[in-house]
Amino acid sequence: MEPISFLLVTIAVVFIARITYNTIVNWFRSRHRIAEEDHEAIGVLIAERLDNQQYKTVEGVFRRDNANTRLVQAVYNERTGTVYQARALESNNAPDAQVRGQLEEGNGMVIYR
């Protein structure tokens, strides 16, 4: 499994009780200006760990080795590799069914356009 890196970007690590679809979508919506300025910018949700199942390797981001769920959420331009904003989400609980289903279907990655 190839590690995913977010170089030169400060990533806030947020610990929350339960990751929900609304939590994910609201964060992307609050960054709509990025997409207005860069029409190639996309939202991406990457699961490093989903309810204790390992998916991707995201190096140097997470603080809690024991969190059951660890996700990275980012807005970036796939063509240029520019990461505009990103955050890491950690939780001791599985995310809601909608988030879990999307991540499982995407093998640990969901793209929001």
Instruction: Estimate the share of the chain in helix, then strand, then coil, as percent rounded to the nearest 5.
Output: 20, 40, 40
Q: What is the pTM of this model?
A: 0.87
pLDDT tens digit string along 86-105?
999 999 999 999 999 999 99
Residue ranges, the chain, pLDDT below 70: 1-10
Question: Average pLDDT over the chain, rounded to whole?
Answer: 88
Sign of CA dihedral 94, 95, 98, 104: negative
- What pLDDT does residue 10 have? 62
